[in-house]
Structure 1
Amino acid sequence: MKRKITIIAVIILCSMATFAQQALFGGAPIVSPEVKADHTVTFRIQAPAADSVQITGDFLPTVKLKTQWGMMDVPGTAKLTKDEKGIWTFTSQPLASDLYSYTVIVDGFKTTDPSNVYIIRDVASVFNVFIVDGGKGDLYEVSKVPHGSVTRRWYDSPGNGMPRRVTVYTPAGYEASKDKYPVLYLLHGMGGDEEAWIALGRTSQILDNLIAQGKAKPMIVVMTNGNVAQEAAPGESSLGYAKPSMQMEHTMDGKFEETFPDVIKFVESNYRVKADKADRAIAGLSMGGYHSLHISRYYPNTFDYVGLFSAAIIPNDKVQSKVYENIDSTLETQMKNGYKLYWIGIGKADFLYKNIVDYRAKLDKMGMKYTYVETEGGHTWTNWRVYLSQFAPLLFK
């Protein structure tokens, strides 16, 4: 088996070398993916010695798969067809405007498309990406509008006993201005880090475009690392090129929520911000939604805007933390203190859908007002980018 994988890897590397030589000596390079005017997309893989080539990605119909979190919808696969030159081809159905990710499978070996240099890491996997424009995908593209800045900053976290890193988006004009800005704290899901929202979530493109269109107010966006056992994203800390993992020490055990004031203190000491409840928002996806829920009620007079995107809700029974004590009473305090927006979004096929149903019933019983958005699809970045696009324009009004 190891020998077969090695041979496949050599084939792929040789193919990549061939593409490079074609470009160097003026030959016609293979174009993949090719997004066409009718919104179909053609993929081409040169693998003349392969017996089969498939593609999998979020542009394909989903299939049900049993996981440790229950039954989940995952992308299906499609077979490519080989021509006489050893090039395998597949053309999709017309696709809705969006950002899509995919990988290819050559004789059972999953890899990336060597003709597509645009790659994003999600936890410990890497994917090629492409955008189909003409709709919501336009919001994820770099447009000819004023652009904000994205920086990686290190801050001291006494609560965690280490320096830690955040990614910070400042809107166009921040550097030349003397104005103070509101802040959105935007949190990632399990296995993610401070790079997730900027890479997979297209945060800077979304905010640049919404602000330029006058649909969102200029704001600072602070994207944290919710894994308090880490200094920073894999490869960006003193641990070096450690393999990313879904499960780390202190994951969803209250430590991140408890020490979140360290982040706020850093931001309000180093950026021109409006340091009050009316100008602070917090939102996150999945684990980040869980963190947003519990941070906002544990510090119930800190945020006027809360966004729960496909959020996990209930702490594990085995977790002991003061953060998770008196959940109902702290929610009631948060409600009595007042807030401007409590926003909940979930996909109909999301494995956390029932949790959201139950949580909404709790809020309804308490009389706690919220805005609810239900979409198609499941626990995916396709939904989370949409939720950010809908949530950001509602802030700081």
Structure 2
Amino acid sequence: MVKNIMIIGLCLGCIGLQRTIAQENIRPAEKKRVVSPEVHADNKVTFRIFAPQAQKLSIVGNWMDRNAFGGNGKQAMQKDGSYWSYTTEALPSDLFLYQIDIDGAVLNDPLNVYQVRDVSNTFNYFLTGGEQAALYKVQDVPHGTIAKRWYESPTLGSTRRLSVYTPPGYEAGKTKYPVLYLLHGMGGDEEAWPSLGRAAQILDNMIASGKIKPMLVVMPNGHVSNTAAPGESSRGQYPIDFFTPDVGSGKMEESFADIIGFIEHNYRVKKQKSARAIAGLSMGGSHTLFISSYLPNTFDYIGLFSAAFRMNEKAENAVFRDFDKNLKRQKDNGYRLYWIGMGKEDFLYKTGEQYRKMLDDIQMKYTYRESEGGHTWTNWRLYLTEFLPQLFQD
């Protein structure tokens, strides 16, 4: 125990030397600013950290084990005087997460102020160059707005929060827009797609380039046992659960009409089936396939990104009990796009195969996209950029 305390104290002491002094304090300008991470023109990335007394440092990055669920491979850093450094091979065009392991204590990079939360952990992030990552960056284009809105859910008997993206010019105009309902995975919340998914940046950039139609994007909280993201509700600051009690209960599916009603009452949107789309990743993919069948004449565009299927075999309600009948009604009612994306190494790959066979058996048409890698935000951001251009084109 004493050894662990000493290690953590050492790490914090090393890192403290690098942190910027508070704004009200004044100090002489540094001779040379140390940059970490430094993204080079060839997409190699160099990390640096000041830790003169540390014995072993490693970079823990999600690109090192791309196929794992929360992959966290390590690469050793090399010491040069008081600094440690590591340079990657050339990385793909994407957004990446990482941390630094200092003698067994895994911490964030003190030289990188850019952080993002994923479930109950925070990570540093950086973006490389290239065409795909350019969609995830803030470009000099007209920008939409992401608002955090509270809505009443009579079905759940609670007031809940969601995120709403409105396209550039929405506030000053009178145009009515189509809507995409975009759902997160297990452990996520209404902040997952705006932060990890870079939804606003993708939408701004693709609208500006003319690749997609302007639209509203609604990103609700799919864990009905929580009313909002951690720290954003009256529940206060609580330990964040990955698997909440509501997972697979069908309550999200049963209450989804409350979300549609709120949006169509409070925003200038088109209210016909041809102007509604729904898509989701993992648990949100499960929500998507069950919501779109439970409300079988509501959405013309459906997107399943690494979708799960039944997540709780014990749950019994109309969402699951009548699924086969609802799916056939959805097929008979017609739709314009049923899009499925799955990584070749995804742990849900077999689940996806089984679900596609179910669709084949009833001759329900779909578009299938198989990508490299596994159950990762790399794939889900990619799928969003490929799904969006197919929406609302008529």
Same fold (TM over 0.5): yes
Identity over aligned pairs, percent? 53
Deviation at 1:174, TM superposition (A): 0.5
Aligned-partner Cα distance in 1 for 2:263–2:385? 23
Deviation at 1:176, TM superposition (A): 1.1
* 8 Å contact kept, 1:73–1:349: no
Question: Where in structure 2 are the equivalents of 1:93-108 lying within 5 Å?
Answer: 93-108=89-104
SS in 1 for 2:299: coil
Does the C-alpha gap of structure 1 residues 13 and 166 become closer, same or farther in structure 2, counting only changes over 3 Å?
Answer: farther
- Cα deviation code 1:227-253 (max 9, x no counterpart): 101110001000111122112121221
* 8 Å contact kept, 2:196–2:377: yes
Task: Say whether residues 1:50 and 2:54 are aligned partners.
Answer: yes
Q: Which shows bigger deviation, 306-315 or 182-191?
A: 306-315
Deviation at 1:6, TM superposition (A): 5.2
Match of 1:87 among 83, 86, 103: 83
* 1:354 partner letter: K
* 1:357 partner letter: E
Does the C-alpha gap of structure 1 residues 376 and 33 become closer, same or farther in structure 2, counting only changes over 3 Å?
Answer: same
Match of 1:391 among 364, 387, 391: 387
* 1:26 partner letter: A
* 1:283 partner letter: A
* 2:380 partner letter: W
Aligned-partner Cα distance in 1 for 2:9–2:260? 47
* 2:20 partner letter: A
Task: Say whether residues 1:138 and 2:151 are aligned partners.
Answer: no
Deviation at 1:73, TM superposition (A): 7.5
Determine the structure 1 residue equivalent to 2:291: 295
Deviation at 1:21, TM superposition (A): 5.1
Determine the structure 2 residue equivalent to 1:78: 75
- Cα deviation code 1:204-237 (max 9, x no counterpart): 0000011001000000000000010111000100
Determine the structure 1 residue equivalent to 2:345: 349
Match of 2:118 among 117, 122, 130: 122
Determine the structure 1 residue equivalent to 2:213: 217
Deviation at 1:321, TM superposition (A): 2.0
Deviation at 1:277, TM superposition (A): 0.6
- Cα deviation code 1:38-93 (max 9, x no counterpart): 211000111111111111112224576xxxxxxx5823110001111x21100000
Length-normalised TM-score, structure 2: 0.95
Determine the structure 1 residue equivalent to 2:4: 4
Deviation at 1:129, TM superposition (A): 0.5
SS in 1 for 2:135: helix
* 8 Å contact kept, 2:141–2:208: yes
Match of 1:227 among 223, 229, 236: 223
Q: What is the alpha-carbon root mean square deviation over aligned residues?
A: 1.6
Determine the structure 2 residue equivalent to 1:67: none
Match of 1:36 among 23, 27, 40: 40
Q: Which shows bigger deviation, 1-10 or 352-361?
A: 1-10
Unaligned runs of 5+ in 1: 65-71
SS in 2 for 1:20: coil
* 1:181 partner letter: Y
Deviation at 1:13, TM superposition (A): 4.5
Aligned-partner Cα distance in 1 for 2:236–2:2? 27
SS in 1 for 2:228: coil
* 8 Å contact kept, 1:156–1:163: yes
Determine the structure 2 residue equivalent to 1:170: 166
